[in-house]
Chain A
């Protein structure tokens, strides 16, 4: 059952996981996520299950151009990137140490392999050999160390990576701790963490962690001087208009030949209705995402649909720094006035699975089943009255994007039906983002992350960099620190059950459903699978 792998090279937990799959206590997707996070290769992980890895599509034909409709935002220093769309542009020439695939597995890109010790405090990274930058420089272990220093620099405003590697950072200087990342030899880098951290691998695969060249100046636009290891370079980046990626000249990409000659991103705005017109007039070959009612319409036009099952979700959250929602009883009553199933149907055409108000979903390896909440709209008026908010008008703010505002409207309608005075304010993107983290009650979309604790630690710990709820629960913080040190997801599940319960009990969030993601493309293109985190893996795309 261990296939052709020598057991001693394997992480012990991986073997245990494989047994769990056989015993039926873990499903295959969970297994792949967890085993590959521990350094087992994807093929090896499939091998542990005694099955063959799904065959990669036969040699794709080289040549061709694709026109993909996507918002073109200005590229910025990858660690500051705050949109997957930004990353999808520089993915043309910048690559990642590790990549998260649509099937839930982790795959080494600039790393050949990696291994974690038993309590996830030490990672050994094997740097891929034979990789060159498109200016001819070889890619080495020094590049890896240098990029870790960039990522861990907490003095840079808005550095999305800074809080991701707490075990590598010196708290006093807010930069990389001496000896945390060391080059063992030309092909090996060792991470010595001060605390256990299971999220190192998924974090290395997240979109701000693109690996840049030594000549890259901090804070610069990466498209200005596009030195990278990837197969393409940007020929044109016109913000709001268009990006053209072409093959990097005089560059031998380590991965062989990427099939497409050119990749065009064209910005047609964000109106999903426009996409229907664009497909019908043959102005695009594929879209970034199909949403809501338009999925059916695009299906009806004879386009190919790609679906990704995810933990992408929407959170309608209250913020306790507002006087309205500082009372836990009020928050709980509002939360329980909303039936997730109704929201899923009205807001998202049932294109997902209902959530449980704790921002954790069955596809997460550490998802724990906890007792179901009882929806109780009748409790709301009493709670509001007790808090002296009976006659106060509440306001929920949402973006004017189709399903986001529909979902929020469904939430608002149910709270109103339960007896509160509440209004729904819809804002265009240009004003919404102005002060979004401060809105007392508003909806935010969350992208998929491979591990549940990743989202929860970012969003709900008192120090979380994306905490929009002002939630500060010491117990939650303590348990989260604990959970982040447990490499074995089965054990982490026990702690996670408590985390889920606290989050539910605090009542900050209404988390009605997780959604599946869709994309449509014309026939004749291959490899355009939708990705749970909207990642574009250009080298997989081809003209069939």
Chain B
């Protein structure tokens, strides 16, 4: 067991290493550095000034060495300008160059400085991850119970009218990507001129010029309300609900055809107890893995949803970092993404063992 976990952690480190190097390489391509120079210095800088900026801000030299600086195995860059002021990776603003450490990379716990947000990557990412955490939490709270109930209901009597109806809903919702469902939801619930809101206003159920829900979740950064948070949560949850419901249904129908279920029915146990006591636990093994695999997918979904609803979390940060070529922040984002994917996989593997004693980790 311990060996298994250790091996998984090793894979995680290797993946993070490989991914960050790829990201580092791509963000350090010459045109990307030029873009960075122009947005950091001034869009009006000349060609020469851009080259000088790149050199003076530690973006020149071999890629491997610079990657080493980020890791903390190569000494951080320094530059002394003509006024004798020394800047460098390891030197804080207003800091004394002589006192600064030589190495300051990830190994030393320094995640670098975000050029877009003008603050260290660590706190910037943590704050944004917190916001995304709330979004994910509410998505899970909505998605997991709803999808399990739908899946069990449609799977316990395969082919019934209820199964057909719920399956149709599940297939439609999981076949609709976030960037479609988000726009549809906004049009239906959050515009003053189309969808439900004008109808409700006509009926006197809503104040004039208001909308049922808010199309922008920016205010949810400070204060989450039903009004400003429903649409982004529903946008992400809808996709997952259909998917998990389908998986649960498949697993449930399989369990319902097993011999022991038939035996229980023949013994005279009522249908309700058969489903609750005999079928459910076995039917939930597959959905458990699927739910754990939803975490990486959620990370993906938040990129679109947060941008659409202007909610400033991890997904929005990733988009902002990428469009501004914020190297250090992008690297931080990649590490977070690797962690989320592999940790949830680890949990799912371990949890699987507990749910299904036939499987052993060795």
Contact = CB atoms under 8 A, between A and B. Distances in A.
Interface in A464-508: 465-466
A257 interface: no
Interface of A, secondary structure class, is loop
A160 interface: yes
* Residue among A157, A430, A436, A466 with most chain B CB within 10 A: A157
B251 interface: no
Interface stretch (B41-49, B97-105, B152-160): B41-49
B216 A283 contact: yes
Contacts of A155: 82
B312 interface: yes
A239 B117 contact: yes
A221 B117 contact: no
B215 to A, nearest CB: 4
B93 to A, nearest CB: 7
B211 A435 contact: no
A74 interface: yes
B310 A239 contact: no
A278 interface: yes
Contact of A80 (B41, B94, B219, B323): B41
Interface stretch (B30-38, B143-151, B280-288, B351-359): B30-38
Given A433-B38, A434-B34, A281 B216 contact: yes
A432 to B, nearest CB: 10
A274 B44 contact: no
A241 B31 contact: no
A274 B209 contact: no
A281 B117 contact: no
Interface string B203-226: 000000111001110110100000
Interface string A238-269: 11110000000000000000000000001011
B324 A280 contact: no
A268 B49 contact: no
A221 B114 CA distance: 14
B116 interface: yes
Contact of A158 (B49, B216, B219, B312): B49
A239 B215 contact: no
B312 A241 contact: yes
A359 to B, nearest CB: 18
B183 to A, nearest CB: 11
Contacts of A435: 31, 34
Given A158-B49, A239-B118, A283-B219, A433 B39 contact: yes
B43 A433 contact: yes
A274 B190 contact: no
Interface in A251-300: 266, 268-269, 274, 277-278, 280-283
A378 interface: no
A157 B53 contact: yes
A224 interface: yes
Contacts of B82: 155
Contact of B42 (A157, A269, A277, A428): A157
A20 interface: no
B105 to A, nearest CB: 24
Contacts of B107: none
B191 interface: yes
A240 B42 contact: no
B192 interface: yes
Contacts of A428: 323
A241 B41 CA distance: 21
Contacts of A278: 216
Interface in A112-139: none
Contacts of B53: 157
A142 interface: no
A302 to B, nearest CB: 8
A430 B323 contact: yes
Contacts of B116: 74, 239-240
A434 B38 CA distance: 8
Interface string A151-167: 00001011110000000
Contact of B209 (A224, A269, A301): A301
Nearest to B191: A277
A400 interface: no
A82 interface: yes
B11 interface: no
B361 interface: no
A277 B190 contact: yes
B218 A283 contact: yes
Given A274-B310, A277-B191, A82 B216 contact: no
Contacts of A430: 322-324
A480 B125 CA distance: 51
B320 interface: yes
A220 interface: yes
A282 B45 CA distance: 40
Nearest to A297: B193
Given A239-B117, A277-B190, A280-B209, A158 B324 contact: no
Which of B52, B190, B216: most chain A Cβ within 10 A? Answer: B216
A76 B322 CA distance: 21
Interface in B312-362: 312, 316, 320, 322-324
Nearest to A280: B192
A430 B186 CA distance: 25
Contact of B312 (A224, A240, A429, A436): A240
27 contacts: A157-B45, A157-B46, A157-B52, A157-B53, A158-B45, A217-B94, A224-B93, A239-B116, A240-B117, A240-B312, A268-B310, A269-B310, A274-B310, A277-B186, A277-B191, A277-B192, A280-B192, A281-B211, A281-B214, A281-B215, A283-B218, A283-B219, A301-B209, A433-B35, A433-B39, A434-B34, A435-B31
Closest 7 CB pairs of A and B: A158-B42, A430-B323, A157-B49, A280-B192, A277-B215, A158-B45, A158-B41
Given A160-B44, A433-B38, 10 more contacts: A158-B44, A238-B117, A240-B117, A268-B310, A278-B216, A281-B215, A283-B216, A283-B218, A429-B323, A434-B38
